[in-house]
Structure 1
Amino acid sequence: MTFEELKPKIIDITSNNSFTRDERLLKVCELLEENIEYYTWVGFYFANHENRTLHLGPYVGAPTDHTVIPFGKGICGQVALSDKNFVVPDVAAQDNYIACSFTVKSEIVVPLFVNGENIGQIDIDSNVLDPFTEEDERFLEFVNQEVAKLY
């Protein structure tokens, strides 16, 4: 399924008030993981600005020990500080990378903004080297714009 075909499905999920916010977030993760072949782990992290930590929210994929990540640590922690998308074509070449699984080859993290504040991010791992394009970035920005409406 193309990104354009997925967009109305994202809107359907995020606007469905019969589910809780976390249920909708999980459904978004499931939709992406099931329909984009190189997305092997899809999840959300949410910021605690007082403690300067990210906390794992709904996700699909292999279980992770990284349920709390300090700002600045790993790709997710760097995005919490930079407020910018971070695409890692090859995690083995990244100094400040937190390994979740030996099968992960690449990662993309896109910040989630609500009223101009970075409240978290969508994090996607892939078992393929360098699969993420600018189209992925624009699509995930769209996903986060829809998710932001839940806050």
Structure 2
Amino acid sequence: MSHTNEHATVTALGGGAEISAEVLSTLAEIGEEVNASLDLDEVLARTAALIKRHIDYEIFGVLMIEGDGTYLRHRFAIGYPRELADNLRIPLGQGITGTAAATGHSVRVSDTSKDARYINAIDSVRSELAVPLMLQGKCVGVLDIQSRHLDYFTRDQLNILTL
């Protein structure tokens, strides 16, 4: 660990990206929230707020694999119209989130208008970052954040979400 005047940093495994003590503290808080509450909606809302401290997204979603493992459905959403979040079903392998779920790998899109996988559910979205949620080596869902700005999400932000 290296120290600066006010911030401690560590190097993320394999990525060479420095993660601040503040980010590590936030990750620890997320872990505490998960362990302290049995209310999944409360845990997801708190997690969204903690992530927002470091990544100023406009849209946040947690999609879970349902339908005998054939599609993703929102379990929690911020910034989506209610009806869209309630009714959207994304087949595995389709769209940005479906690709992340099917492959088990994160997907970072700098310009959604140039990515054929993008499902245009919200016209203003220009950047998207989808991170698979893995349990015992198997994808169970996807954390998805979106922005109206082109090339918004960074590799460092991706590293934060995959720690």
Percent identity of paired positions between Structure 1 and Structure 2: 29
**Higher RCO, Cα 8 Å, sep 6+:** 1
**Residues 10 and 28 in structure 1, CA contact (< 8 A), matched pair in contact too:** no
- Find the counterpart in structure 2 of residue 63 from structure 1: 81
Q: How many residues align?
A: 140
**Residues 37 and 43 in structure 2, CA contact (< 8 A), matched pair in contact too:** no
Q: Which runs of 4+ in 1 moved over 4 A?
A: none
Structure 2 vs 1, CA of residues 68 and 7 (structure 1 numbering), >3 Å: closer, same or farther? farther
**Residues 33 and 40 in structure 1, CA contact (< 8 A), matched pair in contact too:** no
- The aligned amino acid for 1:42 is F
Alpha-carbon deviations, 1:32-77, whole Å to 9, x = none?
235533x111111111262411110112213261532111221111
Superposed, which structure 2 residues align to 1:122-137 within 5 Å?
Answer: 122-137=143-158
Identify which range, 56-65 or 84-93, moves more after superposition.
56-65
Tell me, what secondary structure is at the counterpart of 2:128? strand
Tell me, what secondary structure is at the counterpart of 1:77? helix
TM-score calculated relative to the size of structure 2: 0.76
RMSD between superposed Cα atoms in Å: 2.1
Asked if 1:120 corresponds to 2:141, the answer is yes
Structure 2 vs 1, CA of residues 21 and 91 (structure 1 numbering), >3 Å: closer, same or farther? same
Show structure 2 runs of 5+ residues with no match: 1-18
- Find the counterpart in structure 1 of residue 104 from structure 2: 83
TM-score calculated relative to the size of structure 1: 0.81
- The aligned amino acid for 2:44 is L
Superposed, which structure 2 residues align to 1:1-150 within 5 Å?
Answer: 4=20, 5-16=22-33, 17-18=36-37, 20-33=39-52, 35-37=54-56, 39-48=57-66, 50-63=68-81, 65-66=84-85, 67-142=88-163
Show structure 1 runs of 5+ residues with no match: 143-151
Alpha-carbon deviations, 1:51-105, whole Å to 9, x = none?
4111101122132615321112211111111111111100000112111222111
